[in-house]
Amino acid sequence: MKIYIFIFCLFAKVIYSEINFIDRIAIIVEEGIIMESELNEAIENTITNFKTNGNTLPPKEILYSRVTERLIMDEILLQKAERFGVRISDQELNESLSLFAKQDGLTLLEFRKKIENGGDSFKGFREAMKKEMVLRRVQSGLVGPKIIISDKELQNYINSAEGLSLISIKYKINQILLKSNASNNEENEIKASKIIEEIKNNLSFLEAIEKYSDLYDGDTNGNLGWREKSEVPSLFIEHISKMNKSDIHGPIKSGAGVHIIELEDIEGETIKTESQSLVQHILIKESEIRSEKQAEDLINSLYERANKGEEIEILARVYSDDPGSKLDGGKLDWAPSGVYDKKFEEVMNDSKVNILSKPFKSSFGWHVLKVLDRREKNISDDLLKDKAYGILFQRKYREQLQNTLEEIRSEAFVDIKISS
């Protein structure tokens, strides 16, 4: 028995010494290590990728240095991820894998079979994907807060040649011009305001042009017609970019006189409108001192009082449990679909303007609501700003990421045990 134990111990010792000899520590990085086998595997994978892509391999020393630095940087970031508590859930990972598979027109199951049929491990691919997601999240956490884009910087980019190339917006603009001089400028401003009132009272803009505009010639009527954003006079562009289709704006003063403009139409791939509702409501919640039945009875009572002529605004200020709208008489901000509770939105969409809904219960409590108005809001300017912001952010992110990685690399303890 003692012999068998001795042989077993000796065998274990031989195996252990062989492992130490074959797979030794290559690099110490802070509190972690990189084994020689990991380094060799990374070098082999890099060489394979170069050959697969048909690229020329760099000299051995440069290849070794690049791979080594990448492994060191990954180890530093993974240690930070551990300290920061960065985690990737199985759901997040599966969603990312599904999107990756979708790029090849495959389901996740089909993608898995493709990997395994190629002789690779899906489990290994999954772990590599998870590691990459962790690294990106840590990088984002380190770099994102350092990036600042001011409103002025954003607007300057949008107005630059590069920014304008992102915009495929065309405006169809009509205008009325009241030619002015030093003696009648103020008089024309008053006249322009009266013309706008006439238009609001059902005088069409084209009729107003014929009746009042000093540019009317029976042909173009002095209108600007379809213009790219870069072609719109600077006098008008600030106003036009904030206007919705069919909006009127004025008076606008210039050296030529006083203008009134109409945005007759707008088109382009970056054009988008959304339906928005303006709502007023009263919310009654259950609480420690109010049962569900009492909450329901109270909302029914308020509904009856409102139908008998009491102002919803006053009732909301006195009774509503919504702190965000209570002081404003229950009025909420303009909002598109998908913002509110499902039941609240369902009732809102079914309600006619200025008609009080019957009491209903949402996930927040009991309500009555009134839709005060509806509109189609042009959100093209917001989308353009989002697009421009994304471009500037990514540009700054790449620059800052390199600086940040170099900084944390210089601060880290690294001991490279073996050379190329």
CA distances from 33 to 25, 62, 65 (A): 7, 22, 17
Q: Assign domain 170-267 to its CATH architecture.
A: Roll (3.10)
The pLDDT value given to residue 186: 84
Q: What is the mean pLDDT of the chain?
A: 86
pLDDT score of 6 more than 70 = no
In terms of Cβ atoms closer than 10 Å to its own Cβ (0-12, 13-18, 19+), residue 82 is middle
pTM higher than 0.75, yes or no? no
Least confident of 2-11, 175-184, 211-220, 411-420: 2-11
pLDDT tens digits for range 25-83: 989 999 999 998 989 888 888 898 888 888 888 888 898 999 999 999 999 999 999 99
Q: What is the CATH number of domain 273-378?
A: 3.10.50.40
pLDDT tens digits for range 366-392: 999 999 999 887 777 777 788 888 889
| 164: Cβ contacts below 8 Å, ≥ 6 apart | 158, 229, 230
3-state secondary structure 3-63: HHHHHHHHHHHHHHHHHHHHCCEEEEECCEEEEHHHHHHHHHHHHHHHHHCCCCCCCHHHH
Nearest to 247 by CA among 169, 298, 171: 171
Please say whether the dihedral angle defined by the alpha carbons of residues 70, 74, 80 and 86, taken in this order, is positive or negative. positive
- Give the whole-angstrom CA distance, residue 74 versus residue 79: 9
pLDDT tens digits for range 213-252: 988 775 567 788 888 877 888 888 888 878 888 899 989 9
pLDDT score of 3 more than 60 = no
Give CA torsion, residues 340, 341, 342, 348, to 10 deg. -50
| 336: Cβ contacts below 8 Å, ≥ 6 apart | 274, 275, 276, 377
- Give the whole-angstrom CA distance, residue 99 versus residue 338: 24
Average pLDDT over residues 136-158: 91
pLDDT tens digits for range 172-200: 999 999 988 767 778 888 999 999 999 99
The pLDDT value given to residue 14: 35
Average pLDDT over residues 132-155: 92
- Give the whole-angstrom CA distance, residue 224 versus residue 93: 53
β-bridge mates for residue 33, sequence order: 28
The pLDDT value given to residue 159: 77
- Give the whole-angstrom CA distance, residue 315 versus residue 298: 11
pLDDT score of 361 more than 90 = yes
pLDDT tens digits for range 308-349: 999 999 999 999 999 999 999 999 999 988 889 999 999 999
The pLDDT value given to residue 338: 85
- Give the whole-angstrom CA distance, residue 97 versus residue 109: 10
In DSSP notation, 188-250 reads: HHHHHHHHHHHHHTT--HHHHHHHH-TT--SSSTT--EEEEGGGS-HHHHHHHTTPPTT-EEE
Q: How many residues does the chain have?
A: 420
Domain boundaries, the chain: 170-267, 273-378
Domains 170-267 and 273-378 share a fold: yes
